[in-house]
Structure 1
Amino acid sequence: MERACLSLGSNLAPEANLRSAIAALRACFGQVRVSTVYRTRAVGFDGADFLNAAAVVETDLEPEALDAWLHSIEDAHGRDRSAPRFGDRTLDIDLVLHGDRIVEGPGHLRVPRDELRHAFVLRPLAEIAPDVVEPRSGRTLARLWAESPERDVAMEAVRGFDVG
Structure 2
Amino acid sequence: MAVVFLGLGSNIDKEQHILSGLRALADSFTYQRRSRVFLSEAVGFKGSDFYNLVVEVTTQLPVEKVLEHCKRIEQENGRKPDSAKYSPRSLDIDVLLYDDMVREKAPQLPRHEIIENAFVLWPLAEIAENRQHPVLKKTYGAMWRQYCEQPEQQNLTPLENTDWLKEFA
TM-score, normalising length from structure 1?
A: 0.93
SS at match of 1:93: strand
Residue in 1 aligned with 2:155?
Answer: 154
Q: Is the 8 A contact 1:40 1:120 kept in 2?
A: yes
Instruction: Tell me whether 1:9 sits opposite 2:9 in the alignment.
Output: yes
Residue in 1 aligned with 2:129?
Answer: 130
In structure 2, the gaps of 5 or more residues are: none
CA displacement 1:42-88 (0-9 Å, x = unmatched): 00000100000000011111111101110010011010222221000
CA displacement 1:111-163 (0-9 Å, x = unmatched): 11111121000000100111111101011111111111378432121122133
Q: Is the 8 A contact 2:28 2:69 kept in 1?
A: no
Q: Any residues of structure 2 matched to 1:46-65 within 5 Å, and which?
A: 46-65=46-65
The alpha-carbon deviation at position 94 of structure 1 amounts to 0.3
Cα separation, 2, equivalents of 1:62 and 1:151: 37
Provide closer, same or farther for how the CA distance between residues 46 and 71 of structure 1 changes in structure 2, counting only shifts above 3 A.
same
Residue in 2 aligned with 1:99?
Answer: 99
Cα separation, 1, equivalents of 2:98 and 2:160: 29
Cα separation, 1, equivalents of 2:50 and 2:28: 25
Q: Is the 8 A contact 1:97 1:111 kept in 2?
A: yes
Instruction: Tell me whether 1:140 sits opposite 2:142 in the alignment.
Output: no
Cα separation, 2, equivalents of 1:85 and 1:132: 28
Instruction: Tell me whether 1:37 sits opposite 2:37 in the alignment.
Output: yes
Q: Is the 8 A contact 2:113 2:120 kept in 1?
A: yes
In structure 1, the gaps of 5 or more residues are: none
Cα separation, 1, equivalents of 2:151 and 2:102: 24
State the aligned residue count.
Answer: 162
Q: Is the 8 A contact 1:97 1:134 kept in 2?
A: no
Provide closer, same or farther for how the CA distance between residues 53 and 87 of structure 1 changes in structure 2, counting only shifts above 3 A.
same
Question: Would you identify which runs of 4 or more consecutive aligned residues in structure 1 move more than 6 Å?
Answer: none
- Return 62-71 or 145-154, whichever deviates more: 145-154
Residue in 2 aligned with 1:114?
Answer: 112
TM-score, normalising length from structure 2?
A: 0.90
Provide closer, same or farther for how the CA distance between residues 151 and 36 of structure 1 changes in structure 2, counting only shifts above 3 A.
farther
Q: Which amino acid aligns with 1:135?
A: P
Cα separation, 1, equivalents of 2:95 and 2:152: 22
